Amino acid sequence: MRPRSSRGFTLLEVMIALAIVGGLLVTLLYTLGYHLDVAARQEAATVATMLAKNKLTDFKEDPTEESGSFPEPFEDFRFRVQRLASPYPGVLRVKVTVTGRGEEVSLSEFMLAETTGAG
């Protein structure tokens, strides 16, 4: 007959091991979810930035559009264009704000007033 200590693990040892493994899995799943959320927010901020840059370029060609939304696949993003005063004569500050997917990005650019139709 074998001694009692060599027959295997006790129930208490197995429960402690399962508790440790369970704690590690919960931590791993929480961390994974957090980082996926951060990645999604960064993607939304990047898309909003690119759309704002595009809208600034479009504004130079058509300075009449003040606000609206973007076509598919970016229909959940909206933009607002503002003409702001500049400390420089003959120069206009144009600010484009894009919101969507819980993010908001604002870009500004100085433009000659003659090129924007606000001369």
Over residues 72-114, the pLDDT tens digits come to 999 999 999 999 988 889 999 999 999 999 999 999 999 988 7
Contact call for residues 100 and 40 (beta carbons, < 8 A): no
Percent of the chain with pLDDT over 90: 78
CA 63 – CA 113 distance, rounded (Å): 11
DSSP code string of 22-58:
HHHHHHHHHHHHHHHHHHHHHHHHHHHHHHHHHHHHH
Does the pTM surpass 0.95? The reply is no
Distance CA 72, CA 67 (A): 16
What pLDDT is recorded for position 104?
A: 97
Alpha carbon distance 94, 85 (integer Å) = 9
What token pair was written down for 103?
Answer: 């993010």
**pLDDT tens track for 23-72:** 999 999 999 999 999 999 999 999 999 999 999 999 988 888 899 999 99
